[in-house]
Amino acid sequence: MRDREIVVASGNPGKLREFAELFSGYQVGILSQSAFSVPEVEETGSSFVENAIIKAKHAAVATRRAVIADDSGIEVDVLNGEPGIYSARYAGETASDGDNLQLLLKNIAAAGAQKPTARFQCAMAYVRGNDDPHPMVAQGTWQGYIIDEPRGENGFGYDPVFYVPTHDCTSAELPPEIKNAISHRGQALRTLLKMMKEANVLS
């Protein structure tokens, strides 16, 4: 039996599946902000941390519930860290995952780079409610490089071109349980869960 619910400030099905899997060992119900018709909020922050807090507080006001929000993206060194905080809208505000991925590969090719180093970054924020003055914030980083042909059917976003040297495959080729154990989001959430348990939010 679940004794509490936490809203995830995202409507991305892939991200929601990851959160549900990462919370599967706890008596927590994970809800999408879409269930409350929460509109998207403009991400005006200059960092992953600022945007995560903006999204968490926005959803908490709308749902009057505890909220977890993350802001994550990929940084490619040959592109001077792009797309970074603009990863989800790299090819435009209404761009699909496929649009963003193809633009990334196009820009890398234009730079004349092969297997450029890259990293996924994730900042995660938890607020107890809409008036929480002290959000809990955790971060994670996942190192790898970019390949020029998408591979794998798991994951979402840039996963099919993010190559993980430690496992000799792309993120999209990893089983979910392995990805969650090593990914930027998995790292950030494990740190956040530790903080939540220390604050008696979780048992």
pLDDT tens profile 160-169: 999 999 999 9
Q: Which residues contact 33 (CB under 8 A, 6 or more apart)?
A: 7, 8, 9, 10, 11, 59, 62, 63, 67
77 is catalytic: no
- Answer yes or no: are the C-beta atoms of 36 and 63 closer than 8 Å: yes
| Residue 155 structure tokens | 């994951």
pLDDT digits (tens, 9 = 90+) for 31-55: 999 999 999 899 999 999 999 999 9
Asked whether residue 3 carries a pLDDT value surpassing 70, the answer given is: no
In the chain the domains, ranked by start, together with CATH numbers, are: 4-198 (3.90.950.10)
pLDDT for position 87:
96
Please pick, among 3, 71, 77, 132, the residue that the annotation labels catalytic.
71
Read off the pTM.
0.90
Report the pLDDT averaged over residues 58-83: 96
The mean-pLDDT minimum among 1-15, 38-52, 95-109 falls in 1-15
